[in-house]
């Protein structure tokens, strides 16, 4: 573990249990459980407190203890595809989980000594709970460091409406003064509710700064200057432990069953020929964007593997918006699956490029396998500088 600050070495503490608390979304669960595995191999006992929504399968982790808590998320989960703004769900969880998390954590502390709790940075409420219970809280931030630097300065609460700039506005191609590497056309993709997002970001950053330390899923060679800046701006120890996917694959924490039959199909394709397309677990695209992707794949005349998860296309169950007879016309040249074993696909010699929404896990996985990316960022942290 590389640290930019002076910290207590967790290995030297006498209490060996660590409690982890991931945000209940695939791109957050994967790195948290990868981190849990890393800590377990270093001798720690692991308890995972988790929301009922999107809970992982404990039988894939017989070496961990899982403690579910009520999250109240089912009351709003059906709004996920209608309300694309992540801050609404994140701010909701930061209220609905307070009492269940506090009760669960207090119960665990009554049973045995615990070294610390590691929560997703997005669970900002957890700092006050940990402080009350006199337990150190370490934060896992699952995005890039560059994203947090941008969040720290972007004008979410500006009266000028910087996040609502459209193609018709003269500013659309201009750089954002506070973070010039990003243009207005980039930041509009972050949120449809700048004030809600601004509240979330402010709370998250304040509570990261109040924590006992931050773990980043990144590595020095990729984000050296961002890491230097963050260690000046955030006066808490920073640990760069990533990329986690090099230690453990994310497959055991998949919430959708991975279609492994496509690995045999990949075996039959020429080296570096396949275009792999996936927009991750949370992004939604419109029917017309979906059709554009389909036409693009039809026109390039290369084999392709396309992940279309149920509900990914706004207003469709799954494949209804495909151009007529698309699958028949593509034949064995193209495969469409609900969910793939992504890391294995990226590591496969037949994979030639990755058309991605640039979720941070996907970005790291692609970099680690040396697969070139075609980037179509969709929302939140995906318009970051690197
Ligand atoms: N993933 C997968 N199969 C798929 C698509 C994605 O296993 O068909 C995994 C991928 O390997 C990554 C995670 O889901 O670990 C997606 O996280 P990311 O940060 O890339 O995007 P998010 O889903 O958070 O938008």
- Give the three-state DSSP class for 322: coil
Per-residue pLDDT band at 8 (split at 50, 70, 90): very low
- Give the three-state DSSP class for 86: helix
Please say if 120 is a catalytic residue. yes
Cα torsion 282, 288, 289, 293: sign: positive
Q: What is the ipTM of this complex?
A: 0.99
Residue with tokens 């790291």: 364
Residue with tokens 């396949």: 274
Question: How does pLDDT run across 99-126, given as a tens digit for each residue?
Answer: 999 999 999 999 999 999 999 999 999 9
* Fold (CATH) for 10-252: Rossmann fold (3.40.50)
C-alpha span between 177 and 136 (Å, rounded) = 37
CB 23 within 8 A of CB 122: yes
Question: How does pLDDT run across 144-188, given as a tens digit for each residue?
Answer: 999 999 999 998 888 888 888 888 988 889 999 998 988 888 888
Question: How does pLDDT run across 63-110, given as a tens digit for each residue?
Answer: 999 999 999 888 887 777 666 688 889 999 999 999 999 999 999 999
Which range is least confidently modeled, 13-17, 60-64, 351-355? 13-17
C-alpha span between 265 and 330 (Å, rounded) = 14
Candidate list 50, 71, 85, 120, residue with the active-site label? 120
> Ligand 1, closest atom to CA 254?
7
Query: Taking the domains of the chain in order of start, what are their residue ranges?
Result: 10-252, 257-375
Report if pTM > 0.95.
Answer: no
- Indicate if the pLDDT at residue 4 is higher than 50: no
Residues with CB under 6 A from ligand 1: 26-27, 30, 250, 254, 278, 280-283, 307, 339-340, 342-343, 359-362, 365
Q: How much is the pLDDT for 54?
A: 92
Cα torsion 86, 153, 386, 125: sign: negative
Q: How much is the pLDDT for 107?
A: 98
Taking CA 73 as the corner, what is the angle to CA 290 and CA 186, rounded to the nearest 5 degrees?
40
Q: How far is the CA of 195 from the centre of ligand 1 (A)?
A: 27
Beta bridge partners of 275: 304, 353
Q: What is the DSSP letter of 134?
A: T
- Indicate if the pLDDT at residue 48 is higher than 80: yes
Residue with tokens 């990329």: 243
Q: Would 10-252 and 257-375 be classified into the same CATH topology?
A: yes
Q: How much is the pLDDT for 12?
A: 43
Contacts of 4 (CB under 8 A, 6+ apart): 227, 231, 237, 238, 239, 240
Q: What is the CATH number of domain 257-375?
A: 3.40.50.2000
Question: How does pLDDT run across 251-275, given as a tens digit for each residue?
Answer: 888 999 999 999 999 999 999 999 9
């Amino acid at each position: 573990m590389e640290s930019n600050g002076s910290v207590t070495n967790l290995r030297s503490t006498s209490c060996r249990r660590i409690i982890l608390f991931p945000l209940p979304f695939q791109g957050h669960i994967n790195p948290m459980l990868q981190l849990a595995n890393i800590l377990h191999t270093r001798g720690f006992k692991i308890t995972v407190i988790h929301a009922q929504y999107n809970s992982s399968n404990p039988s894939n982790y017989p070496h961990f203890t899982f403690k579910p808590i009520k999250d109240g998320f089912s009351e709003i989960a059906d709004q996920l595809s209608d309300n694309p703004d992540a801050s609404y769900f994140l701010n909701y969880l930061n209220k609905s989980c307070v009492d269940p998390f506090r009760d669960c954590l207090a119960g665990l502390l009554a049973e045995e000594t615990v070294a610390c709790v590691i929560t997703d940075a997005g669970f900002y409420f957890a700092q006050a709970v940990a402080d009350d219970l006199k337990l150190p809280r370490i934060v896992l931030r699952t995005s890039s460091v560059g994203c947090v630097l941008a969040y720290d300065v972007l004008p979410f609460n500006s009266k000028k409406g910087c996040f609502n700039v459209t193609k018709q506005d003269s500013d659309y191609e201009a750089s954002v003064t506070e973070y010039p590497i990003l243009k207005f056309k980039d930041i509009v993709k972050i949120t449809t509710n700048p004030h809600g997002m601004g509240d979330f970001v402010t709370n998250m950053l304040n509570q990261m700064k109040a924590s006992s330390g931050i773990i980043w899923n990144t590595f020095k060679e990729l984000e050296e200057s961002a890491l230097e800046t963050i260690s000046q701006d955030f006066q808490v120890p920073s640990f760069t432990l990533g990329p986690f996917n090099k230690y453990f694959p994310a497959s055991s924490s998949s919430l959708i069953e991975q279609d492994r039959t496509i690995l045999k199909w990949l075996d039959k394709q020429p080296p570096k020929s396949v275009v792999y397309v996936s927009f991750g677990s949370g992004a939604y695209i419109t029917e017309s964007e979906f059709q554009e992707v389909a036409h693009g794949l039809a026109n390039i005349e290369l084999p392709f593997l396309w992940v279309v998860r149920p509900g990914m296309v706004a207003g469709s169950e799954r494949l209804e918006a495909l151009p007529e007879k698309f699958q028949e016309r593509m034949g064995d040249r193209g495969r469409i699956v609900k969910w793939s074993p992504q890391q294995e696909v990226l590591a496969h010699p037949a994979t030639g490029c990755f058309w991605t929404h640039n979720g941070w896990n996907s970005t790291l996985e692609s970099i680690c396998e040396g697969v070139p990316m075609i980037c179509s960022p969709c929302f939140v942290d995906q318009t970051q500088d690197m």
